[in-house]
Every structure is written in C-alpha cells, then in structure tokens.
Amino acid sequence: MSKHPSVPDRLTPERACLVVIDIQERFRDLIHNVDQVLAGSSRLIRFCQQMEIPILVTEHYSRALGVTVPELRKLFKPLRPIEKIHFSCMGDEGFRKALKDTGRDQSRWPWRWTPSVPAPRPTGRRGCTA
C-alpha cells in the first residue's frame, strides 16, 4: 500500500498549480506550432488566474536565451520568473522551493495540452474538467 495519497485525475483549484517552463524568445523558432502553444498557454494562464490557481514561470539562463515571450509576459503584472540554469526544473533548488511553497500537489504544464486535448474549463470552485 502506498504511503502517498492518490492524486485524482480531476484537478481541483485548491490543489492545482500551473507551471510555465522556458517559453522564451530564443526558443520561439524551435517550438513546434508555436502559435498554438502560445494561444493554449495564454488560455491556461488566464484560466488559472480566474480560478486563483498559483502559476510558476521559469526562464532558463535568460541573459543568453532571452526572457519569456511578450505574448505571455503581458499576462503577468508583475512577472516574477524563476531563473534557472538546469534544463530540468526539478534539478533547480529555487524551482523546487517555489513549487513546495505553493502548498499544491497537482501541477500541469501547458505544453501537455494540444488542440486535440482541450484546456480545462471551470465547473465551479470544486473542480475542473478537461
């Protein structure tokens, strides 16, 4: 028997966190279907803001790779990205601390949603559906 509680498939606003990872200027031309990724990410960010779900934004070595793209930067006032030098977020102590500090145990990463997998929509304060 696992000593960890199971995490349900359905996200709940009280347990969820959105993680926006390294959607930076230098990577723009490398992101497949970048317009769809940015549109989907924007929808998820606005949704999480509406539902008061914490959002973490990372930037990988922004001095060389640029900052978060303007389409997403404008959604945050102010934007406080987590600067990291490890490609894996979990390899970065600052990110792990920020994630732990949210107190949330469910996270979603925008790039996982594609046009065939719609972003969640609110069903009230008790949960979300995909």
Say whether 106 sits in a helix, a strand or coil: strand
Average pLDDT score, the chain: 82
Count of domains forming the chain: 1
Residue 54 lies in a domain: yes
Residue 129 lies in a domain: no
Distance separating alpha carbons of residues 22 and 116, to the nearest angstrom: 23
Residues 6+ apart with CB under 8 A from 83: 58, 59, 61, 62, 94
Residue 92 lies in a domain: yes
Residue 1 lies in a domain: no
Tokens of 44: 């998820």
Residue 125 lies in a domain: no
CATH number of the domain where residue 79 is located: 3.40.50.850
Residues 122/47, Cβ–Cβ less than 8 Å = yes
Residue 44 lies in a domain: yes
Residue 31 lies in a domain: yes
Residue 84 lies in a domain: yes
**pLDDT tens by residue, 57-102:** 999 999 999 999 999 999 998 889 999 998 888 889 999 999 999 9
Domain hosting residue 59, numbered range: 16-112
